[in-house]
Amino acid sequence: MRLLWITHRKFDDFCATTPVALSTGLVQNGFDLTIVNPDPVGSHDEFPWSHISVQQSSIKGFQGSSFSKRIKKILPSITSACDSVLIDWQVGSTVIKLLSKAGLRVYLIDRSPPADEGILARLQWTVWKKSWRLVNTMSVESGFVVSQKHAEFVSHLLKIKSENIEVLPAGVSTNEMKSKSSKKEGGPWRFVYHGRLDKHRGVLEFMNILSELNELGLQCIFTLIGEGTAVEEIKQRCNSFPNLFTYKTSMDHGDIHEELGKHHIGVLPMPEKKIWTLASPLKRGEYLASGLMVVGLDHDGHRLQGVDEKWFHLNSKPALTSSIYNLFKDLSAEEFDFMSLEAQNYATNHLSWDVSVQTLVSRLRGEVNG
Q: Where are the domains of the chain?
A: 2-171+352-369, 174-350
| Strand 105-109, strand 142-145: pairing | parallel
Say whether 174-350 and 2-171+352-369 share the same fold: yes
User: CATH homologous superfamily of domain 174-350?
Assistant: Glycogen Phosphorylase B; (3.40.50.2000)
CA dist., res. 10 & res. 20, Å (int): 10
Report the pLDDT value the prediction gives residue 180, as an integer from 0 to 100: 65
- Per-residue pLDDT 10s for the chain (370 aa) are 899 999 988 887 645 678 888 999 999 999 999 999 999 999 999 999 999 999 887 766 667 778 888 998 899 888 888 899 999 998 988 899 899 888 899 999 998 888 666 777 788 889 999 999 999 887 899 999 988 889 999 999 999 998 999 999 888 876 655 556 678 778 899 999 998 899 999 999 999 999 999 999 999 999 999 999 999 999 999 999 999 999 999 887 778 888 998 999 999 999 988 778 887 677 888 899 999 999 999 998 898 888 998 999 999 999 999 999 999 999 999 999 999 999 999 998 888 888 889 999 999 987 543 3
pTM: 0.79
Report the pLDDT value the prediction gives residue 61, as an integer from 0 to 100: 61
User: CATH homologous superfamily of domain 2-171+352-369?
Assistant: Glycogen Phosphorylase B; (3.40.50.2000)
CA dist., res. 12 & res. 28, Å (int): 21
- Residues 266, 206 contacting (CB under 8 angstroms): no
CA dist., res. 40 & res. 234, Å (int): 31
Alpha-carbon torsion angle 279, 210, 288, 198, nearest 10: 30
